[in-house]
Structure formats: C-alpha cells, structure tokens
A and B are shown apart, each in its own frame.
Chain A
Amino acid sequence: MPKLRRLWMRLRATIGSGHCDRDFGDELESILQMHVDDYLRRGMTPEEARRQAHIRLGGVEQVQQVARDRRGLLWLEVFGRDLRYAARTLLRTPGFAAVAMLVMAIGIGASVSLFTVIHSVLLRPLPFPHPDRLVAIYSQDAVWSHNTVAPGDFYDWQNASHGYEQMAIWRWTGFNMSASDEQFPEFLNAGTCSWNLFSTLGINPVLGRSFTPADDNPGAARTAILSWALFERRFNHSPAVLGNTVRLNGQLYTVVGVIRRGLTDVHVGSPREMVGGDFIVRIIHGRPPRGFSWPAPASTASAPGVVALAHSREVAPGPERRELLLRKDGAGVWPVGAAAS
C-alpha cells in the first residue's frame, strides 16, 4: 500500500512539477539560511559562513538533482518531453506527417489482416485430435473444383477405399425448431451427417452417446446431437434433455447426446436425411516422409466410378497437401482447416 501511495504522489508531482520545484527551492534556501546563521553565531564572517554553509549542504545543484529524480517519475517526464517534441516536429510539416501516418496505418492494417487470415487458415490448429491427419475431399469436374460429393459417390468411396481410417460426410442443414415449454420457435444453423462424423473427427459427446450405424438408415428413428451452446441456452444445462424429443422441421427427433463447448456453430446433428455434401476423411497414415510424392494418377479414366475410386486411393497427405491435390476429373483433397475457416 505505501508503495502504491508513493507512486501516486510521484505521479502527481510529475504532473504539477512547477509548484514542487519552487517549494523545494524555498526549503533549500531556508535550510541554507539556517546553516549560515549557525556559522555566523560561531563568529565567522558572512562570506565565510555562506561558503561553509554551501559545503555543508552538499552542493545545491546536486541536492536539487537528487530531489528531482526521487520526487517525480523521471522517465515519465522525459517521455512527455519526447511526445511534445514529436508533436511540434510533426506540426511543422503537416502534409508530410499526414502522408507518413497514412502509409503506416495502411501498412499496419494490411499486415494485421494478412496475419489474421494466415493465422486462422494455416496456423490455428483444428479443435480435434491429430488435425494434421484430417482432410476434406471434394469431387471435381471440368467446371467445379470444389463440388459437393454425391452421397452415392461417398458410399462407393467409403466401401472401396483403404487409404483412410474413416470417411464421413456432412452437409449444412437449416432446421426450424418448434416452440416448446414456453420457448419461442427458432431457426437453427445445423448439419446433417453420416453416423461416424464424430468418431472421424475424434470427438465424443460429453453427454449421452454418439450416433450409431443403426441411426443411419432411412427407416431409423430420427436422432440428434446438440451443440453445447444450444444445450446451455435452450435447455439450461439440463441432462434431462437426453432421450427427450425436439421438433425440427415438423418432425420429432430424439436427443441422444451433447458435444463439448466451442466445437462448432452447428447446433444439431442428425444422420438420417443425408443427401449430399462435403465429406471429411481421416487418413490412416501419418505424415509421409519429406520429399515423398504420390504417383501420378492412374490414367484409367474410362468409367466415372472407377476414376473416383482410383483417386480416392491416391489422394493422401503429402508435404504439398495444403495445396489442392488436383486430379483431372477426380477428387481433390483439402485440409479441413482451409476448408472450414
């Protein structure tokens, strides 16, 4: 506490330093006079008394210097002087100053925005385990380099490919959630996915269970997994929501699980009505050694189905994986990070 008070006093002294200087000068003068009086009383001549007093005092200038250093915050004073000097210099050439500031502002702004993009696209890891082993696969044709994958293709690829640990498919789906329990209806940013999306991403629900293969067929009961945000906002953290139904787009869905906080903006997942979308693939191999390159695509591009299969085996992680691994009339691979940002 005394330290804080001292800092405060010094700050005040710095701001109103003129008054303090005068005060100190007066005090020094009074002390000097007392010394002189003392020496006069001992019978010295006035000149000698004054000389001795100065010696005894230890040099007025030095004392003043020490006092000034201790009283205020010297660095703050110096900084203030620098600021004033800078302002004066800039005001002398306002045109130049304005241009210089503009150039710096634009430069800083550009660097910041560039870094923001790089950070979110390349540097920030995905919130899943082993993000370097996650890729996104798109189908590709002469017109579209990032086309969504037809569900039929997905199931084909899933059955035929051995290069990937798991493949899952999902698409964005909007759901209207009906009013219930005095809660308003609302529109939900949601996704529909194959049953294994969460295990492909390497996450388990914090509450309840994940989807199972049984959830993922046209005749199955409709099931949904909630985001933490929705669970918190709409269901007040109540685990009782598990097993209950919610009405989405007029249909009843059973809530089977909740995933952890901050994972996604998608609020409901459901595997039942998968109609197409980008699909996410987890690759079974780790990062290949440096300098490794994948063989050129097989040129057996006769039947479309074969092309897709051949390429789904070929596309795999390499040092150049962050660039789209393009295959003519085939599949391209993106890291999820680039795709999801």
Chain B
Amino acid sequence: MADKTEVWLGTLALMVLRTLATMGPQHGYGLARRIEQISGDQLSLNYGTLYPALLKLEQEGAITSEWGVSENNRRAKFYKLTRTGRKQLERETNNWQQATAIVARFLSPSEEG
C-alpha cells in the first residue's frame, strides 16, 4: 500500500466534487473507497487526508452535510453537492483540462523538431 500514489495537492477537492456529482450524497467512508476505486486502486486515501478537504469544501459552501443511515444501518454523515459546488466543479474541471492540455503539449513528441 505504501507505494501507492499520494493524492496530489489540490486535486482532491475536484475528485470529491466529481464523485458527489455522479454518485449523489455519500458518507466519508464511501467517498474515500469510491475515489480509490475510480483511480483503479492507484490512489490511497485515508480519512486524515480526506477530512480536511471535506471541511474546506463545506466551509466554502460547495457541499453540505447531514446525518443519515448508511446501507449497513450505521449512523453516518452524508455529504451532498450544493449549487455552488456544482458551479465550482464545472469551473475547476475546465481549469484542470486547460492546464493538462497545456502540459501535454509540452510533453508530447515534438513536431517542430
């Protein structure tokens, strides 16, 4: 597990928003597992990493939380995307795609020699 990639700084919020947008309300545990799963188990995410990101998003108003009951009948705190969060997701997705496109251009085999 130790050689799994750490989550890059700043990308976690985007992953959380995206996961919530596609999966609907999730509790912290489910979010962490889901993100690991989508990454093809290339990422390792413990709660100590995830929680600060959730807190920040909640403080910014991108997500809200509510206590509910999990699929295994456990009490759990569920996080839900807000309208602000949806807008933020859209914006950050664009930013990210732009950034990666630019970097990709630098890294692609050169056409001009």
Contact with A along B9-46 (1 / 0, CB 8 A): 00000000000000000011100000000000000001
Which residue of chain B has its CB nearest to the CB of A13? Answer: B59
CB-CB under 8 A for A9 and B51, given A34-B70, A56-B46, A58-B46:
no
Residues of B within 8 A of A67 (CB): 51-52, 55
Q: Is the CB of B48 within 8 A of A63?
A: yes
Residues of A within 8 A of B48 (CB): 57-59, 62-63, 66
Residues of B within 8 A of A71 (CB): 55
A38-62 interface (Cβ within 8 A of B):
56-59, 62
Q: Is the CB of B29 within 8 A of A5?
A: no
Cα distance, A70 to B58, chains bound together (Å): 12
Q: Is the CB of A30 within 8 A of B74?
A: yes
CB-CB under 8 A for A34 and B52, given A6-B59, A27-B77, A56-B46:
no
Q: Is the CB of A30 within 8 A of B59?
A: no
Cα distance, A66 to B50, chains bound together (Å): 11
CB-CB under 8 A for A31 and B29, given A26-B75, A58-B46:
yes
Cα distance, A70 to B52, chains bound together (Å): 7
Which residue of chain A has its CB nearest to the CB of B33? Answer: A38
Residue A10 interfacial (CB < 8 Å): yes
Q: Is the CB of A2 within 8 A of B51?
A: no
Least Cβ–Cβ distance between A174 and chain B, in angstroms: 65
Cα distance, A37 to B33, chains bound together (Å): 14
Most buried by A among B48, B56, B75, B84: B48
Residues of A within 8 A of B88 (CB): 2
Q: Is the CB of A33 within 8 A of B46?
A: no
Residues of B within 8 A of A260 (CB): none
Residue B6 interfacial (CB < 8 Å): no
Q: Is the CB of B60 within 8 A of A57?
A: no
Residue A28 interfacial (CB < 8 Å): yes
Residue A313 interfacial (CB < 8 Å): no
Residue A321 interfacial (CB < 8 Å): no
Residues of A within 8 A of B52 (CB): 66-67, 70
Least Cβ–Cβ distance between A226 and chain B, in angstroms: 58
Residues of A within 8 A of B49 (CB): 58
Which residue of chain B has its CB nearest to the CB of A5? Answer: B61
Residues of A within 8 A of B27 (CB): 30-31, 34
Residues of B within 8 A of A34 (CB): 27, 29, 70, 72, 74, 76
Residue B47 interfacial (CB < 8 Å): yes
Cα distance, A43 to B54, chains bound together (Å): 31
Most buried by B among A6, A31, A56, A58: A31
Residue A35 interfacial (CB < 8 Å): yes
Which residue of chain A has its CB nearest to the CB of B49? Answer: A58
Residues of B within 8 A of A10 (CB): 59
Cα distance, A28 to B75, chains bound together (Å): 11
Which residue of chain B has its CB nearest to the CB of A24? Answer: B51
Least Cβ–Cβ distance between B8 and chain A, in angstroms: 18
Which residue of chain A has its CB nearest to the CB of B46? Answer: A58
Least Cβ–Cβ distance between B12 and chain A, in angstroms: 13
Residues of A within 8 A of B84 (CB): 2
Cα distance, A23 to B75, chains bound together (Å): 12
Most buried by B among A10, A27, A35: A27
Q: Is the CB of A28 within 8 A of B55?
A: no
Residues of B within 8 A of A9 (CB): 58-59
Least Cβ–Cβ distance between A172 and chain B, in angstroms: 64
6 residue pairs A–B, Cβ–Cβ below 8 Å:
A2-B61, A5-B61, A26-B77, A31-B28, A57-B48, A63-B51
Seen from chain B, the residues whose Cβ lies within 8 Å of a Cβ on chain A are 27-29, 46-49, 51-52, 55-56, 58-62, 67, 70, 72, 74-77, 84, 88
Given known contacts A2-B61, A30-B27, what 13 new A-B pairs fall within 8 Å (CB)? A2-B84, A9-B58, A31-B47, A35-B29, A37-B72, A57-B46, A57-B48, A58-B46, A58-B47, A59-B48, A63-B51, A66-B51, A70-B55
Q: Across the A-B interface, give the 10 residue pairs with the lowest CB-CB distance, nearest first.
A: A58-B48, A2-B60, A58-B46, A9-B59, A34-B29, A6-B59, A63-B48, A27-B77, A30-B76, A31-B29
